[in-house]
Chain A
Amino acid sequence: QVQLVQSGPEVKKPGASLKISCKASGYSFTAYPMHWVRQAPGHGLEWMGLINPIGGSTNFAQKFEGRVTMTRDTSTSTVYMEVSGLTSDDTAVYFCLRDVVDWGQGTMVTVSS
């Protein structure tokens, strides 16, 4: 079955960068785009962007352009998302989402001085 296993929780200081991973299994990794969605505490879901694993092309929500990078490693079926210039507003749970179907378990990110 499809599994998306994300890296563990992170605590970062304002201004720092963050890189989280999502390791996929149970399907053809290059066949589906991988999205990243975040959820601030007590809030709804916010789409951040996607990466197409077959070629590595990306597409970002306007508010994250220039601050978010998405990469992939086809040899390990893993996608990565890096967020720079963290602020307290980036405190959230970050999810990877295969196509519009399967969700990772989430990675809690806390940004605090």
Chain B
Amino acid sequence: DIVMTQTPLSLSVTPGQPASISCKSSQSLLHSDGKTYLSWYLQRAGQPPQRLIYEVSNRFAGVPDRFRGSGSGTDFTLRISRVEAEDVGVYYCMQSVELPLTFGGGTKVEIK
């Protein structure tokens, strides 16, 4: 199984400041079709996860452009350019290049 490792475990950010979350995979997420299957989700308290980013850097419809995904191979980053109060929650990365799907352990983002 592909192991997904997220850092940091938690982040406390002043509103308006940037935030960055790292996600590393134990093997490359590049598929033979040329796409890299790494997604990001935000789970607010008491809610299901909601989609943010797919295939490393593509924002789903309706996701603010302050969210940016980047990376390749085994190293990926989610950046929030200016954190807002509504961005509080736990962020998860997930690989879907092969089964079983596996998730990072989560990064909890709080507002200072």
Chain A positions within 8 Å of B, measured between CB atoms, are 35, 37, 44-47, 50, 59, 61-62, 95, 100-106
From the candidates A45, A50, A59, A100, name the one contacting B54 in the complex (CB within 8 A). A100
Q: Which residues of A contact B92 (CB under 8 A)?
A: 44-45
Report, nearest first, the 3 A-B pairs whose CB atoms are least far apart: A103-B48, A47-B101, A45-B103
With A50-B99, A61-B100 known as contacts, the answer to whether A44 contacts B48 (CB < 8 A) is no
CA distance A106 to B92 in the complex (A): 17
Check: B36 CB closer than 8 A to any chain A CB.
Answer: no
With A44-B105, A47-B101, A47-B102 known as contacts, the answer to whether A100 contacts B96 (CB < 8 A) is yes
CA distance A100 to B50 in the complex (A): 10
* B103 adjacent to A44 (CB under 8 Å): yes
CA distance A98 to B62 in the complex (A): 18
Q: Which residues of B contact A35 (CB under 8 A)?
A: 101
Question: How many CB-defined contacts (below 8 Å) exist between A and B?
Answer: 42
CA distance A42 to B34 in the complex (A): 36
Q: Which residues of B contact A44 (CB under 8 A)?
A: 92, 103-106
Check: B23 CB closer than 8 A to any chain A CB.
Answer: no
Q: Which residues of A contact B50 (CB under 8 A)?
A: 103
The distance from the CB of B27 to the nearest CB of chain A, in whole angstroms, is 17
Interface string of B30-58 (1 = CB under 8 A from A): 00000001010000000011110010000
From the candidates A59, A95, A102, name the one contacting B99 in the complex (CB within 8 A). A59
With A44-B92, A44-B105, A100-B94 known as contacts, the answer to whether A105 contacts B48 (CB < 8 A) is yes
Q: Which residues of A contact B39 (CB under 8 A)?
A: 100
CA distance A45 to B50 in the complex (A): 13
Please name the residue on chain B nearest to A106 by beta carbon.
B48
Please name the residue on chain B nearest to A62 by beta carbon.
B100
CA distance A47 to B105 in the complex (A): 13
Q: Which residues of B contact A101 (CB under 8 A)?
A: 51, 54, 60
In B62-112, the 8 Å CB interface with A consists of: 92, 94, 96, 99-106
